[in-house]
Chain A
Amino acid sequence: MNEDEFRVSEYDCNTDLYPLSRREFLQSISSGIIIFFAVGEASTAKGQSRGKKRPDFNAYLRIGEDGRVACFTGKVELGQGAMTSLAQTLADELDVPLESVDMVMGDTALCPYDAGTWGSQTTPRFGPVLRAAGAEARAVLVGLAAVRLKVPKDRLDVKDGVVFDKTQKRRKVTYAQLAKGKRIERRLEQKPQVKAVSELNIIGKPHNRIDALEHVTGKARFTGDIRVAGMVYAKVLRPPAHGAKLKSLDTSAVDKIEGAQVVRDGDLIAVLHKNPDVAEKALTKIKAEYDVPEARFDDKSVFDYFVDNAGDGKVTQKGGNLESGQKLAKEVVEETYLNGYVSHATIETHSALAQFEGNNLTVWASTQTPFRLPQQIAGELGIPAENIRVIAPFVGGGFGGKIYNGQAVQAAKLAKIAKRPVQLVWTRADEFFYDAFRPAAVVKIKSGFTNSGKIVLWDYSIYGMGSRGAQLFYDVPHHRTTVSRKLRNGDGMHLFATGAWRAPDNSTNSFARESHIDIMAVKAKMDPLEFRLNNVTDERMRRVLKAGADRFGWTPAKKAPSGRGFGIACGSDINVPVVLFAEVKVDERTGKVQVKRVVCAQDLGLVINPEGVSLQVEGGVTMGLGYALTEEVHFKGGRILDLSFGTYKLPRFSWAPQVETVLIKADDSDAKGCGEPPIICVGGVIANAVYDATGARLFQIPMTPERVRQALASRAQHEVLTT
């Protein structure tokens, strides 16, 4: 073996698969060690590649002459901490200090393809790929060091980027020295194993956010902070309602404003100006008339509308037969649960900057899907997708709302027409109007249980949304889940865009299911924790239930409601069992609910960054208070009535409960994502705690003070002894 072998490029993938800029970038790197890692080589990477036809590199790292490690990933930092946890993942396998890793994220010219930053997939899907890439890179470097030091590979070890002879520690060479003056591209045929859990040094240790310094100094660049020469700012004309048709348009008053330019492309009407505030002011001078379709329903009648007009549902899950279940049941319980539309309401509104240079277009965008955007723009503008580069800088919150890229397509259209770079930052009102809301939905449940408190019947019907989170983890012999998402005439149910909102469907399904479970527990005269354990055999779920109860200090009450204001709700999302315990206080005069304490227990498998997990749990629980207590979009037909934070109420400081994170130790099982699971049970746990505090059962979220007061007024005046 000699060093020359390593100079020969063993890299045999077809670079034609890359957009031009990426190929140029690869060629422009004159030195350093570049490790390619084809995604098809890792079975764990399923769902992250473009499929077999387009083998792509899902991790790409470069060790520079200065010893710094650049990690290129198509994932985006939205606040979820992926930048930190991915850097930890790579640093550990590569045996370099975390501080030496530079993350390059969400740039379609520099980073390997990625389907999108969503669904809590970064840790479970991309993480293992990156670990394998790190292990492979380390093996390459150790091989190079063996040649350099003339020591067999198995006598070498690595610490902090220094390869050394285990028998004679002074014989050593750094990664930086190995990279010096060479351009080495490597892949390995024989894939090394990733580290055993016991060998991990950085994975599993709490680490603060590596990007915090940029944020606290104001240096972090979000899309709206990018400036390029000659750019102008755009404001778009928003119709009064979804479904409205433009009747007449008079933009003559805008012409009187110096420097303002009106641009129109079909329904897209915008004003451009070198100052964004002047553009916004000029926009108000436009006179536009619209035909607005008659409102078929509003935020109050939406639920009846869905149920009354739904077409036949699809059965998504079933077992046993419902008649047998009904016969076995001692008592049958039927209830209906309602949940309104909610907005993503990220503090950063959708933003984009589009700049043409010749035939090439660069778009900076606040997006969770940078690799989807070139295709979208190509389709709309008739330019080849490979001429489009998308860069997602720091994104100011996503939660599923920034996967659609409407603002970026608008900016690209405007830049093409104006022949100037155009930055478009949606106003807050635009943001509320164009947002793809979490859908309003109705859940009807008919269930039954036996004398021994075993659930034997579960007939579960969903109207208006999907079944994520409706999969049964309770052991029920006779069950059926039906989903209706279309009207009888085949049309969709919603009047405006709906989409993914942090664990889509699951918060609504978990609210309905867990409320219903508690109602049955009371009727069965059982403690709600005991009732759940009596109906769950899944070991992971049982463990989180018990661990959460231990931390919370749950004890069975002598009666229900107990007056303590304690609630419990459990659920499952993306293969993570999660349970919340909560303590609430209800002001019976005002109907205001204050959540005092929440314990969240989860089984996340191998935890990459426990600090990051705590942040996600606190964030998920706090955000969840909004959909549980105040957040719902008011509308009349296609008219969105909530267009500001004045009427759409987000959680505030005074709401913040004490939040405790409990993790089941399960290092030997795969790492799982936790951006979504902690939020799914917030509605359910508060509804159950409100019942326990007051005896009032809420069947609709958000549990606004008005609804709480109504429920208090109509509560049953009796207590159930549970002894």
Chain B
Amino acid sequence: MNETISFKLNDKPVSLTTDGERKLLWVLRSDLGLTGTKYGCGKALCGACTVMVNNRAVRSCIVPVRSIKGKNVLTIEGLAKNGKLHPIQEAFVKHDALQCGFCTPGMILNAYSLLLRNPQPTRREIIEGMEYNLCRCGAHIRIIRAIESAAQEMKGAR
């Protein structure tokens, strides 16, 4: 059933009328035109669709859009501020922490959520935090390195 749903998207208020059962992923990609969030499996098994809702990583492919009313949604498009890359984005570039790049937005936002909760994670904690995001190309080693390096960079400046 259609309803009006308002929330903050990348710091800007948005409002749309749609079926509240629809999943956030598709609303972002087709209704709001933000295609940086990717479809990989539709079952919360790969993490390509990861976005942040109220500073916590969620799998947008299973999140009903109704449930984000009044909340803050951050997608990959909103991470760089005033043309300046976020330290995690910088670290992914610096360490070549990607190959095809399709899983990258989800990886970065999942890492961001991880670092917000645990600013100085051990390598093991990074691995545990990233374990359920899939990368087929095998960029894992670089992604771990990039998150370690971003954590250093973000020290004290959350």
Residues of A within 8 A of B (CB): 78-81, 208-209, 211-222, 224-225, 227, 233, 274-278, 280, 345-349, 394-397, 399, 425, 427-428, 611, 615, 618-623, 644-646, 650-656, 658-659
Q: How far is the CA of A650 from the CA of B37 in the complex (A)?
A: 21
Are B35 and A218 in contact, with the CB atoms below 8 A? yes
Give the complex CA separation of A622 and B97 in angstroms.
14
Give CA–CA (A211, B40) in the complex, Å: 21
With a cutoff of 8 Å between Cβ atoms, the chain A residues found around residue B48 in the complex are 347
A348 with B102, Cβ < 8 A, contacts A208-B93, A212-B93 known:
yes
- When distances are taken between beta carbons in the complex, the residues of chain B under 8 Å from A221 are 35
- B153 within 8 Å of A (CB atoms): no
Which residues of A sit under 8 angstroms from B45, Cβ to Cβ? 644-646
Q: Which residues of B contact A650 (CB under 8 A)?
A: 134, 136
Which chain B positions have C-beta within 8 A of A274?
30
Q: B134 near A218 (CB under 8 angstroms)?
A: no
| A347 and B38 contact, CB distance less than 8 A | yes
Min CB gap B90→A, angstroms: 8
CA distance A212 to B137 in the complex (A): 15
- Select which of B23, B40, B96, B144 is within 8 A of A656 by beta carbon: B144
Whether the pair B26, A653 counts as a contact (CB closer than 8 A) is no
Interface string of B92-113 (1 = CB under 8 A from A): 1110101111111100100000
What are the residues of chain A within 8 A of B133 when measuring CB–CB? 653
**A277–B35 CB distance below 8 A:** no
What A residues does B104 contact at CB under 8 A? Answer: 215-216
**A and B contact pairs by CB, cutoff 8 A, 14 listed:** A79-B100, A212-B96, A216-B89, A216-B104, A219-B77, A277-B25, A347-B46, A349-B40, A394-B101, A397-B136, A618-B138, A618-B142, A653-B131, A656-B141
The closest CB in chain A to the CB of B124 belongs to A654
Asked whether B100 lies within 8 Å of A216 as measured between CB atoms, the reply is no
Contact: B100 with A348, CB < 8 Å?
yes
Report whether A211 and B127 are in contact in the complex, using a CB–CB cutoff of 8 Å.
Answer: no
Q: Is B42 an interface residue (CB 8 A)?
A: yes
Name the contact of B36 in the complex, choosing from A219, A399, A611, A618 (C-beta under 8 A).
Answer: A219
| Residue B22, interface by CB 8 Å | yes
How far in angstroms is the closest Cβ of chain A from B35? 4
Q: Which residue of A lies closest to B101 (CB)?
A: A215
A79 in contact with B22 (CB, 8 Å): no
- Across the interface, A216 reaches (CB within 8 A) one of B37, B92, B134, B138, namely B92
CB nearest to A654 among chain B residues: B127
Chain B 1-60 residues near chain A, CB threshold 8 A: 22-23, 25-26, 29-31, 33-43, 45-46, 48
Given contacts A396-B101, A396-B102, A615-B142, contact A218 B77 (CB under 8 A): yes
- Among A224, A347, A425, point to the contact of B103 (Cβ < 8 A): A347
A618 to B140, CA, bound (A): 9
Report the separation of the CA atoms of residues A227 and B23 in the bound assembly, to the nearest whole angstrom: 19
Contact, CB under 8 Å: A623 / B26: no
- Nearest residue (CB) in B for A206 is B96
CA distance A623 to B99 in the complex (A): 12
Known: A396-B100, A650-B136. A348 touches B142 (CB 8 A): no
- Kindly state the separation between the CA atoms of A219 and B36 in the bound complex, as whole angstroms: 6
CB distance from A651 to the nearest CB of B (A): 7
| Pairwise interchain contact B101-A233, C-beta atoms closer than 8 A | no
Once the chains bind, are B100 and A347 in contact (CB under 8 Å)? Answer: yes
A659→B39 contact, CB < 8 A: no
Chain A residues near B99 (CB-CB < 8 A): 79-81, 397, 615, 619
Shortest Cβ distance from residue B113 to the other chain A in the assembled complex, whole angstroms: 15
Q: Is the CB of B140 within 8 A of A656?
A: yes
Asked if B139 CB lies within 8 Å of chain A CBs, one says: yes
Question: B76 an interface residue at 8 Å Cβ cutoff?
Answer: yes
As a 0/1 sequence over residues 117 to 134 of chain B, the CB contacts with chain A under 8 angstroms (1 = contact) are: 000000000111011111
Nearest B residue to A397 via CB reads B100
Minimum CB–CB distance for A668 against chain B, Å:
28
Cα–Cα, bound, A37→B39 (Å): 40
**B23–A277 contact, CB under 8 A?**
yes
Complex partner residue of A346 from B35, B100, B126, B127, CB under 8 angstroms:
B100
Of B33, B36, B42, B138, which contacts A651 at CB under 8 A? B138
A220 to B76, CA, bound (A): 11
